[in-house]
């Protein structure tokens, strides 16, 4: 797990960089504090199949948002703390936090770039149920960041690059899970309106490297996956409110998995497969 200090330092530097644009901007920066209180009831606060226990949960959230927008810069920095209190089970009370910063800069008429980074600590096992439907195995610490750049090669052709990294640690009473990923992408788009009205051609190449380590009391499992994707298609505006978007292509995945018991490798498997991409 990458140390949070690295990401906090990055965000601090990003905030300093953002503030440097204030002198050149006619629009003042904006700082907006926020505060909220939420009351919930759960009939199974421990998410167990047996011995279910109910309780009322009060959640208070406080934070601040800093924004700075000009003709060439769109920047945002957000920090928040969340404290959760149980009415009858105060041993479960905990405080979580999140910080996130992003900036997009239009360097020239043709070239623009962006960057973002975030760090979060979350002890809410149900935090992802609305998006994935899954219950987390334990407390989570997650850091992520991204870089992007876009360049207008011509009046009708644009090229883009992107890089995304993620590092996640989930602590459970019986196992510790460490996940990390890096994704890189190249995209090309070209306005085809000369031949096809209101149509843009699209071409993308993406690569993802994913690793996961699950450390149990006795057994440790390592999983690695490399994914390569090449796909293309088009988008077309039919009306001001209606559009059609389609991309298809191929995907190649190379995976390996290793299981170790008390430090000794017991199984080692590798697999590769081809698939399709439909977006």
CA 102 to CA 99: how far, in whole Å?
11
CA 150 to CA 152: how far, in whole Å?
7
Q: Enumerate residues 6+ apart whose C-beta is below 8 A from 181.
A: 164, 165, 166, 208, 209, 210, 211
Q: Enumerate residues 6+ apart whose C-beta is below 8 A from 42.
A: 54, 55, 57
Q: What is the pLDDT of residues 75-131, one digit of tens each?
A: 999 999 999 999 999 888 899 999 999 999 999 999 999 999 999 998 877 777 666
CB atoms within 10 A of CB 99: 21
Q: What is the pLDDT of residues 132-167, one digit of tens each?
A: 666 776 688 999 999 999 999 999 999 999 999 999
CA 240 to CA 222: how far, in whole Å?
49
Q: Does the predicted model carry a pTM greater than 0.85?
A: no
């Amino acid at each position: 797990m990458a140390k949070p200090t690295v990401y906090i330092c990055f965000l601090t530097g990003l905030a300093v960089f953002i503030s440097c644009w204030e002198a050149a901007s006619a629009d003042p920066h904006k700082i907006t504090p926020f505060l909220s209180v939420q009351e919930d009831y759960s009939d199974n606060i421990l998410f167990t199949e047996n011995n279910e226990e109910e309780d009322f949960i009060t959640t208070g959230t406080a934070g601040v948002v800093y924004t700075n927008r000009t003709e060439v810069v769109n920047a945002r920095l957000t920090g928040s703390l969340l404290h959760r209190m149980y009415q009858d089970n105060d041993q479960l009370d905990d405080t979580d936090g999140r910080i996130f910063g992003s900036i997009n800069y239009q360097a020239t008429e043709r070239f623009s770039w962006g960057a973002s980074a975030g760090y979060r600590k979350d002890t809410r096992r149900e935090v992802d149920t609305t998006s994935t439907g899954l219950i987390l195995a334990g407390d989570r610490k997650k850091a992520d960041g991204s870089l992007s750049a876009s360049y207008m090669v011509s009046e009708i052709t644009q090229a883009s690059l992107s890089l995304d990294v993620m590092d996640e640690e989930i602590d459970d009473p019986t196992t510790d899970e460490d996940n990390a990923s890096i994704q890189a992408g190249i995209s090309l788009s070209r306005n085809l309106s000369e031949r096809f009205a209101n149509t843009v051609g699209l071409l993308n190449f993406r690569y993802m490297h994913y690793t996961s380590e699950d450390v149990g009391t006795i057994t440790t499992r390592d999983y690695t996956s490399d994914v390569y994707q090449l796909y293309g298609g088009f988008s077309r505006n039919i009306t001001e409110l209606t559009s059609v978007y389609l991309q298809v292509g191929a995907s190649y995945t190379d995976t390996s998995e290793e299981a170790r018991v008390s430090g000794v490798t017991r199984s080692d498997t590798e697999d590769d497969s081809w698939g399709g991409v439909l977006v």
